[in-house]
């Protein structure tokens, strides 16, 4: 009998339904008592069999409140499918069918909003306007869901019905996001423009992270729509948190508050202005720069060591065609430059080895994990880096001299001498400048020179006491 009833519901056959009910008048009551997952009314509501549904409701109106395995009532299913006449009939059954929530915590209005069924929304609101105030488990209204699923027509209908309700338009979900927050995060431009036309909209509302809609836009991945969205928000008076000057003491981290109190007490004792330094990670920047440069030099030196100027021999040549020993034998894989210009090759390999080992030493020190975070250790590493760079420059000039033909030797010698002299001059200037800075730091550290209060932010010497 239940199988026949299920088949009649699938076909929407009212005649079969009447015949079954005549044969077993209690079959509908048995369905309710048996707690089956889906009633014939669910099937009729899903497929839009209006006449079949009317006959069922006339015989057993309480079927409208029955839920399936997903917690959905027949109204949920009809709203999702967009069967307006079926929705009207189910609403006329009375009771609180519109307030039933499924396992996802959504009412029929929420389902209609997700599906973009504007006509269904209008009918639900007409019958019970309070349905717009029913929230999901995440504290979302139908307006939130329309925005999240980009249902513009459904959104416009909700706005028309509740446009003057500022509380609904500015309602915040469990994360403190209003409909505008979600629209900006999703970058639904048309919905954003629609929301910005509402007079009661709070464009600078804050979510639980303390962000406005403009802040969310700036923190989201960038694309071509950002400029248009930001322009629309700006025209509506949107601002970031910094522009609103809404930072309170509760937002300041504990360590920052302690530092502020310490500075205030120091200022009170000394009666002098306290110098505030910009928090610049000098050592971090230097370590990162040294790692990059050292890696590049090590790569170049390694490649130069394996492929010296002129290349390597590609064969073994120890005897001639007659089997007699040759005067200038060589073996495969050995450097050609080492046979032709052994003195220049020796200088080349010495300089290249110094550059290679110096750069590897820098990398090893940086990744070793040793406690070398003080400035003096950083100076040592920088000196090693100067040695590596200088050796690499020397390697370049030796290679250049070897690869150039004899007819340009005079011009090349002049260019080399000028280049080397320029490089040595630059090295001397850099060395002297850093030597002076180090001497001044030592004198200040041991009290021979009184350190002046420097108002300029970001001066590296002023950060030494903090790093020590």
Among residues 98, 93, 16, the alpha carbon closest in space to that of 57 is found at 93
Q: What is the pLDDT of residue 288?
A: 75
Q: Which residue has the higher pLDDT, 424 or 208?
A: 208
Q: What is the pLDDT of residue 429?
A: 85
pTM attached to this predicted model: 0.54
The arithmetic mean of pLDDT across residues 289-305, rounded, is 85
What does the mean pLDDT of the chain come to?
A: 81
Give me the DSSP letters along 264-300: HHHHHHH-SPPP------HHHHHHHHHHHHHHHHHHH
Q: Which residue has the higher pLDDT, 27 or 405?
A: 27
Q: What is the pLDDT of residue 13?
A: 93
E-state strands within 389-440: none
pLDDT value at 335 more than 70: yes
**Residue corresponding to tokens 């005649």:** 15
- Measured CA to CA, the distance from residue 399 to residue 395 in angstroms comes to 6
pLDDT value at 330 more than 70: yes
pLDDT value at 276 more than 60: no
The arrangement of secondary structure in 2-200, i.e. its CATH architecture, is: Alpha Horseshoe (1.25)
Quick one: CA dihedral 441, 445, 451, 454, positive or negative?
A: positive
Q: How far apart are the first and last CA of the chain?
A: 88
pLDDT value at 259 more than 70: no
Q: What is the pLDDT of residue 90?
A: 94
Q: How confident is the model at residue 228 (pLDDT cuts 50, 70, 90)?
A: very high
At residue 41, φ and ψ (nearest 5 deg) are -70, -35
Q: What is the pLDDT of residue 398?
A: 81
């Amino acid at each position: 009998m239940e199988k026949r009833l299920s088949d009649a519901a699938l076909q929407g056959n009212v005649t079969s339904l009447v015949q079954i009910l005549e044969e077993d008048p209690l079959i509908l009551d048995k369905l309710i008592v048996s707690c089956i997952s889906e009633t014939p009314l669910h099937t009729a509501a899903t497929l839009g069999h209006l006449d079949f549904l009317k006959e069922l409701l006339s015989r057993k109106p309480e079927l409208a409140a029955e839920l399936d395995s997903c917690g959905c009532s027949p109204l949920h299913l009809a709203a999702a499918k967009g069967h307006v006449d079926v929705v009207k009939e189910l609403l006329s059954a009375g009771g609180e069918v519109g307030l039933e929530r499924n396992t996802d915590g959504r009412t029929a209005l929420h389902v209609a909003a997700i599906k973009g069924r504007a006509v269904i929304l209008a009918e639900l609101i007409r019958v019970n306007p309070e349905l717009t105030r029913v929230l999901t488990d995440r504290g979302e209204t139908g307006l939130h869901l329309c925005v999240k699923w980009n249902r513009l027509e459904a959104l416009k209908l909700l706005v028309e019905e509740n446009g003057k309700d500022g509380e609904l338009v500015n309602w915040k979900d469990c994360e403190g996001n209003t409909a505008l927050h979600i629209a900006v995060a999703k970058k639904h431009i048309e919905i954003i423009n629609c929301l910005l036309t509402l007079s009661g909209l709070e464009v600078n509302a804050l979510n639980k992270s303390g962000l406005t809609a403009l802040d969310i836009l700036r923190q989201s991945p960038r694309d071509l729509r950002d400029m248009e969205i930001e322009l629309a928000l700006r025209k509506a008076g949107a601002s970031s948190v910094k522009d609103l000057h809404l930072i309170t003491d509760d937002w300041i981290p504990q360590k920052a508050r302690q530092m502020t109190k310490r500075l205030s007490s120091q200022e009170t004792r000394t009666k002098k202005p306290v110098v505030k330094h910009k928090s610049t990670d000098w050592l971090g920047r230097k370590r990162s720069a040294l790692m990059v440069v050292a890696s590049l030099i090590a790569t170049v030196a390694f490649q130069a060591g394996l492929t010296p100027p002129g290349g390597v021999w590609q064969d073994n040549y120890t005897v001639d065609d007659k089997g007699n020993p040759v005067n200038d034998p060589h073996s495969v894989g050995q450097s050609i430059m080492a046979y032709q210009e052994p003195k220049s090759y020796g200088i080349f390999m010495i300089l290249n080895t110094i550059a290679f080992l110096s750069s590897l030493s820098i990398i090893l020190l940086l990744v070793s994990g040793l406690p070398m975070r003080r400035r003096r250790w950083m100076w040592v590493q920088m000196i090693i880096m100067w040695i590596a760079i200088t050796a690499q420059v020397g390697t370049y000039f030796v290679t250049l001299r070897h690869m150039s033909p004899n007819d340009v030797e005079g011009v090349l010698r002049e260019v080399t001498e000028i280049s080397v002299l320029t490089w040595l001059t630059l090295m001397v200037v850099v060395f002297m400048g850093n030597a002076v800075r180090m001497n001044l730091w030592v004198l200040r550290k041991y009290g021979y020179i009184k350190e002046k209060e420097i108002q300029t932010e970001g001066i590296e010497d002023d950060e030494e006491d903090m790093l020590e």
